[in-house]
């Protein structure tokens, strides 16, 4: 890594010393009866930026010879792009900007999205975040043709490299994705956010996301990889941010979507938005309802989600915003299957009494103050009050469900609040423009975890039979987190930059409660029943460092590299949840390590987009699961979960997309477009530095060594069609790489291939959409669960058809 950074520095210095540089002067004028505010002139795709003075003049220094596109823009004015060829000091003619109406702004944004075919990248500085020299990807929802009614992740994340997907349900109630060999379990290895603030259950001890914003409400999905740990907290996967649609520029705009599909699916999504009070007050709200019977028996669901946001411009410098989210759903869980049951009929269910309920309430109060066009302050306050409850039979799936036996109930509540404040400052030094970001985070949360017996009915009865004396455990997990972080873009030359960063963390986690230790003899009689009380606390202070580098020889090419330390806290509820399918090590502790990237990305001839990234993840004290056996006389297999070994993940992520028609005809009719993409990833993840022979040099569980997604999109005027193919290679579900077990909790996940097809047609205010998920009706599964919604194999949905109609007024 050191050699790579030195090479990039050398290239940047060489470019600066030996290139012949010139300057560009000129003047930018506003339209009549307007004042030019926050004006800048920049050379597109470079770091050459000049502030426009009060008299309209600007000056760009030390610009190498070449062809450029000069862009001039100001607050509330339409940007103007001017091609120039520079071979000497140049004084340009006056540039007059025109007023930018809100309607025109939407047209410009839409045109940019049409050029992306649904995938783009974060800018170097965006939404009070620094992304220079980092691996970033953005899904532009308006520009993809996919099944949005069910949040189909294969289609939505088709162009995101290295993403492994769990398909626990085919209706999009929960999202399970993991990148670069990290577990997809409820997206827990990402710091998951909505409009920039946390939405997971507990960012420290239980970072699982039971709530996923509906794709019908989203404008874009932003993914920043492992180097994001400095800005977004302690995790290895990076940051995932769901950004909602912006309010309409009209006083009121209504969108109504109605969807139907296979297995009794019905969904309705209705939103209203607008801008009023002289463009100072903006609002956006929606309500979504979904229900269905599910692909398998005993898998019906009922889902409600509502969101409302309002923002107000107090002045030209200061705005505030308020957001409220409510989500509630109840679903029956069909349970897992053994390998034999799956082979016979993947649609069958052998559990009729398992239920799951989630209630999520999110609140956010945000404010942005602009001291000047160079210095801005952003404050995000957020809070969560939520619960998840499950009731059912957790016994091994190869054991028949005794309908007269009591069920097990697990009750979890999550209450937390936090503040994240960021100050962004742009400054000029040594003839170059630089950016500095400093921030602070305060987070307090309390998670409770209770487990005990529930009744023996088949109904969704979420109450304990003995609430004052639970049969398993009753714990409270308070926690506190204080952090300071800083990053900066330091431009050493017009084409080369460094992005150093640092994060100081203080983490305090506490646990208080009891668990029951119950032993039975061979006849099932209780011979030991101990209630063990605990009161523990862990306090940690540490500092994380990172460094990124970016080399942009021209606007179409970038080479980047980054290194960042990582840290991930243990999962609270792993400590004291009793499950016959696995046992947790009482000495389990936090994980440490680092991530590193080396990549190249860019465009060629306006029709080819490409990116290739090599990465390395060092995961020290990785928490994993090892297959072990009970003591005699039972010898039952079970999973042992703990810090089983160090691990390292090495991989290569590649993405290529070609605009076919533009490649052969540069003057082609813009109403007809046709693209083909390939998203290919290789990952080798293995356990290293371990004394346990059963896992030494074995493959890390839930890591597919090869993932390939490819597809084609054709667009003609208002019609669009996308055909997509996904392949995921064989992977293991435990660290010992067991091939098959009687309980089906461990074993291989065979390679699988899935094809999807979606179409869309728009006419004025009406849009019609259709989709066929799993077009070839493949029989496959993506996970083996040790707990809910299993245990055992969780089959993925077969072929399903969906149709949506949208009206926009």
Please, where are the H alpha helices in 78-233?
A: 102-116, 153-156, 229-232
Count of alpha carbons within 13 Å of 138, Cβ hemisphere only? 16
Tell me the per-residue pLDDT of 138-154, one tens digit each, with 9 for 90 and over.
999 999 999 999 999 99
Q: Whole-angstrom Cα distance, residue 440 to residue 482?
A: 8
- Residue 412 pLDDT: 94
Position of tokens 């297959």?
627
Count of alpha carbons within 13 Å of 336, Cβ hemisphere only? 29
Q: What is the pTM of this model?
A: 0.88
Cis omega (within 30 of 0) for bond into 652: no
Q: Whole-angstrom Cα distance, residue 231 to residue 191?
A: 10
Q: Whole-angstrom Cα distance, residue 790 to residue 185?
A: 13
Distance of CA 321 to the CA centre of its chain: 23
Q: Where among 67, 84, 100 does a domain terminate?
A: 100
Q: Whole-angstrom Cα distance, residue 331 to residue 173?
A: 9
Q: Quick one: which H or E segment has residue 620?
A: strand 608-629
Average pLDDT over residues 237-250: 94
How long a stretch of residues is the chain? 809
Q: CA of 218: how far to CAs of 18, 138, 221, 271, 621, in Å?
A: 47, 12, 7, 12, 37
- Residue 629 pLDDT: 66
User: 132 by DSSP, 3-state: which?
Assistant: coil
Q: Do the beta carbons of residue 128 and residue 422 sit within 8 Å?
A: yes
Model confidence at 69: pLDDT above 90: no
Q: Whole-angstrom Cα distance, residue 767 to residue 761?
A: 6
| Burial letters 275-295, b for 16+ CB under 10 A, else e | beeeeeebbbbbebebbbebb
At residue 102, what are phi and psi to the nearest 5 degrees? -60, -40
What secondary structure does DSSP assign to 354-421, as a single string?
-EEEEEEEEEEEEEEEESSSSEEEEEEEEEEEEEEEEEE--S-TTS---TTSPEEEEEEEEEEEEEEE
Q: Do the beta carbons of residue 29 and residue 94 sit within 8 Å?
A: yes
What secondary structure does DSSP assign to 135-158, as a single string?
-EEEEEGGG--S-TTTT-HHHHTT
Domain membership of residue 620 (yes or no) is yes
Output the CA angle 110-36-490, nearest 5 degrees.
75
Burial class (CB in 10 A: 0-12, 13-18, 19+), 45: middle
Output the CA angle 20-22-23, nearest 5 degrees.
165
Q: Where among 100, 117, 135 does a domain terminate?
A: 100
Distance of CA 470 to the CA centre of its chain: 36
User: 342 by DSSP, 3-state: which?
Assistant: helix
Residue of 330 and 790 predicted with greater confidence: 330
Please, where are the H alpha helices in 261-351?
A: 339-344
- Residue 62 pLDDT: 78
Q: What CATH number did the domain enclosing 7 receive?
A: 2.60.40.1120
The token pair that represents 485 in the structure block: 């972080």
Position of tokens 């220094």?
61
Tell me the per-residue pLDDT of 704-730, one tens digit each, with 9 for 90 and over.
999 999 999 999 989 999 999 999 999
The token pair that represents 142 in the structure block: 């308006």
Q: What is the DSSP letter of 128?
A: T
Tell me the per-residue pLDDT of 473-522, one tens digit each, with 9 for 90 and over.
999 999 999 999 999 999 999 899 999 999 999 999 888 999 887 776 66
Position of tokens 């470079």?
46
Q: Are strands 21-29 and 95-96 parallel, antiparallel or unpaired?
A: parallel
**End-to-end CA distance of the chain, in Å?**
54
Q: CA of 115: how far to CAs of 80, 111, 157, 657, 687, in Å?
A: 18, 7, 18, 12, 43
pLDDT band at 118 (very low <50, low <70, confident <90, very high): confident
Domain membership of residue 373 (yes or no) is yes
Q: Do the beta carbons of residue 412 and residue 573 sit within 8 Å?
A: yes
| Mean pLDDT for the chain overall | 88
Model confidence at 43: pLDDT above 50: yes
Q: Are strands 375-392 and 218-224 parallel, antiparallel or unpaired?
A: unpaired
Domain membership of residue 25 (yes or no) is yes
User: 100 by DSSP, 3-state: which?
Assistant: coil
Q: What is the DSSP letter of 495?
A: S
pLDDT band at 102 (very low <50, low <70, confident <90, very high): very low
Q: What is the DSSP letter of 663?
A: H
The token pair that represents 35 in the structure block: 């004042």
331 Cβ contact partners less than 8 Å away, ≥ 6 residues apart: 169, 173, 299, 300, 301, 302, 303, 355, 356, 357
6 Cβ contact partners less than 8 Å away, ≥ 6 residues apart: none
- Expressed as residue numbers, the domain containing 633 is 242-524+533-808
Domain membership of residue 188 (yes or no) is no
Domain membership of residue 113 (yes or no) is no
- Residue 524 pLDDT: 67
Output the CA angle 65-71-75, nearest 5 degrees.
150
Q: Whole-angstrom Cα distance, residue 266 to residue 149?
A: 9
Tell me the per-residue pLDDT of 428-455, one tens digit each, with 9 for 90 and over.
888 888 999 999 999 999 999 999 999 9
Domain membership of residue 142 (yes or no) is no
Q: Where among 74, 100, 126 does a domain terminate?
A: 100
Q: What CATH number did the domain enclosing 509 receive?
A: 2.40.170.20
Q: Whole-angstrom Cα distance, residue 8 to residue 6?
A: 5
Number of structural domains in the chain: 2
pLDDT band at 633 (very low <50, low <70, confident <90, very high): very low
Tell me the per-residue pLDDT of 550-606, one tens digit each, with 9 for 90 and over.
999 988 899 999 999 999 888 775 665 555 556 777 778 888 999 999 999 999 888
Domain membership of residue 448 (yes or no) is yes
Domain membership of residue 268 (yes or no) is yes
């Amino acid at each position: 890594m050191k050699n790579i950074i030195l090479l990039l520095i050398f290239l940047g210095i060489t470019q600066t010393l030996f290139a012949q540089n010139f300057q560009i002067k000129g003047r930018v004028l506003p339209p009549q009866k307007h004042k030019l505010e926050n004006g800048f002139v920049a050379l597109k795709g470079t770091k050459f930026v000049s502030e426009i003075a009060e008299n309209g003049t600007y000056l760009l220094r030390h610009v190498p010879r070449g062809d450029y596109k000069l862009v001039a823009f100001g607050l509330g004015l339409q940007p103007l792009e001017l091609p120039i060829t520079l071979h000497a000091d140049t004084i340009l003619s006056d540039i007059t900007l025109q007023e930018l109406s809100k309607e025109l702004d939407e047209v410009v944004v839409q045109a940019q999205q049409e050029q992306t075919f649904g995938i783009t990248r974060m800018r170097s500085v965006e939404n009070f975040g620094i992304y220079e020299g980092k691996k970033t990807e953005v899904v532009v929802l308006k520009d993809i043709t996919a099944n949005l009614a069910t949040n189909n992740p294969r289609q939505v994340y088709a162009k995101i490299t290295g993403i492994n997907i769990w398909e626990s349900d085919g209706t999009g109630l929960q999202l399970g994705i993991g990148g670069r060999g990290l577990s997809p379990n409820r997206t827990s290895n990402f710091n998951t956010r909505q409009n920039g603030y946390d939405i997971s259950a507990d960012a420290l001890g239980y970072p699982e996301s039971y709530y996923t914003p509906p794709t019908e409400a989203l404008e874009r999905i932003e993914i920043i990889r492992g180097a994001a740990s400095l800005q977004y907290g302690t995790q290895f996967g990076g940051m995932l941010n769901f950004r909602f649609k912006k309010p309409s520029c009209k006083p009121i705009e209504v969108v109504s979507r109605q969807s139907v599909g296979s297995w009794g699916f019905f969904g309705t999504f209705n939103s209203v938005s607008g801008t009023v009070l002289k463009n100072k007050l903006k609002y956006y709200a929606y309500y979504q309802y979904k229900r269905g019977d599910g692909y398998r028996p005993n898998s019906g669901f009922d889902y409600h989600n509502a969101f409302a946001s309002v923002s107000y411009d107090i002045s030209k410098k200061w705005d505030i915003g308020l957001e409220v989210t409510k989500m509630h759903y109840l679903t029956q869980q069909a349970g897992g299957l053994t390998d034999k049951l799956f082979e016979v009929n993947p649609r069958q269910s052998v559990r009729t009494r398992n239920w799951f309920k989630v209630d999520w309430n999110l609140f956010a109060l945000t404010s942005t103050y602009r001291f000047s066009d160079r210095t801005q302050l952003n404050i995000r306050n957020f809070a969560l009050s939520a619960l998840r409850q499950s009731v059912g039979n957790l016994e091994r799936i190869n054991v028949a469900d005794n309908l007269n036996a009591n069920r097990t109930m697990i009750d979890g509540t999550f209450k937390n609040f936090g503040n994240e404040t960021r100050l962004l400052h742009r400054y000029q030094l040594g003839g170059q423009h630089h950016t500095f970001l400093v921030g602070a985070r305060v987070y307090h949360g309390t998670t409770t975890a209770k487990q005990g017996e529930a009744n023996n009915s088949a109904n969704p009865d979420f109450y304990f039979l003995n609430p004052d004396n639970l049969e398993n455990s009753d714990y409270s997990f308070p926690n506190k987190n204080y952090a300071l972080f800083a990053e900066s873009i330091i431009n050493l030359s017009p084409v080369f930059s460094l992005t150093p960063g640092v994060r100081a963390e203080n983490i305090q986690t506490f646990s208080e409660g009891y668990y029951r230790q119950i032993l039975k003899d061979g006849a099932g009689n209780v011979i030991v029943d101990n209630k063990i009380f605990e009161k523990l606390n862990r306090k940690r202070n540490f500092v994380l460092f990172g460094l990124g580098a970016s080399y942009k020889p021209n606007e179409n090419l970038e080479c980047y590299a980054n290194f960042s330390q990582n840290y991930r806290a243990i999962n609270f509820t792993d400590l004291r949840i009793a499950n016959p399918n696995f046992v947790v090590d009482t000495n389990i502790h936090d994980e440490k390590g680092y991530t590193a990237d080396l990549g190249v990305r860019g465009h060629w001839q306006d029709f080819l987009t490409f990116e290739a990234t090599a990465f390395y993840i060092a995961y020290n004290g990785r928490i994993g699961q090892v297959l072990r056996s009970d003591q005699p006389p039972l010898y039952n297999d079970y999973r042992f979960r703990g810090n089983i070994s160090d691990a390292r993940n090495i991989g290569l992520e590649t993405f290529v997309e070609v605009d076919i028609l533009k490649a052969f005809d540069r003057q082609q009719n813009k109403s007809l477009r046709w693209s083909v993409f390939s998203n290919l990833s290789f990952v080798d993840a293995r356990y290293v530095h371990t004394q346990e022979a059963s896992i030494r040099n074995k493959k890390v569980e839930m890591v597919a060594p090869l993932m390939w997604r490819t597809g084609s999109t054709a667009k003609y005027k208002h019609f669009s069609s996308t055909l997509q193919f996904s392949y995921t290679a064989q992977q293991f579900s435990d660290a010992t790489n067991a091939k098959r077990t009687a309980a089906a909790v461990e074993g291989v996940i065979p390679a699988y291939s899935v094809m999807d097809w979606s179409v869309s047609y728009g006419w004025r205010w009406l849009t019609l959409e259709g989709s066929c998920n799993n077009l070839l009706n493949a029989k496959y599964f993506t996970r083996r669960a040790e707990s809910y919604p299993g245990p055992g194999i969780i089959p993925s949905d077969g072929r399903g058809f969906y149709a949506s109609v949208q009206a926009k007024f």
